[in-house]
Amino acid sequence: MNINSNYQKIILLSLGFFILLMIMAVFHENGILNAYRFEQEQVKMKEENEELRLRNNLLRQNILALKSDPYAIEKIAREKLNLAKPGDQVYRIVSTPSQLPRVK
């Protein structure tokens, strides 16, 4: 019976050690959960980088157009600065706040 008891102790210790290793593998700071979280953050950052890269390319195209294309300069002057060429007729549409009918 003594040999059987020793085997049980060894099996229980081995099982306890295995469970401890599994807990450490999952919940430790370098464990599976953190690795998954870091992977998700990396995917998110790659998407943000791609969006910023596209935005930068668009801004570069706008800069190049403003340096070389007179029509792009005119468009910005008309839209953003409200400028007009001599002889152009400018119509301003002014909206007034509408009053709701009163309920009696």
Q: The whole model's pTM is what?
A: 0.53
Q: 32-68 and 2-27 helices cross at what angle (nearest 10)?
A: 20
The larger pLDDT score, comparing residue 49 to residue 89, is at 49
Cβ of 94: how many Cβ atoms within 10 Å? 4
* Amino acid identity at 94: V
Looking at the chain, list the stretches that DSSP marks H as alpha helix, in order from N- to C-terminal side.
2-27, 32-68, 70-79
The pLDDT of residue 1 is above 70: no
The larger pLDDT score, comparing residue 18 to residue 84, is at 18
Mean pLDDT for all residues in the chain: 87
Give residue 83's pLDDT: 81
Read off the pLDDT of each residue in 7-14 and give the average, rounded to a whole number.
91
**Where do the domains of the chain lie?**
1-30, 32-85
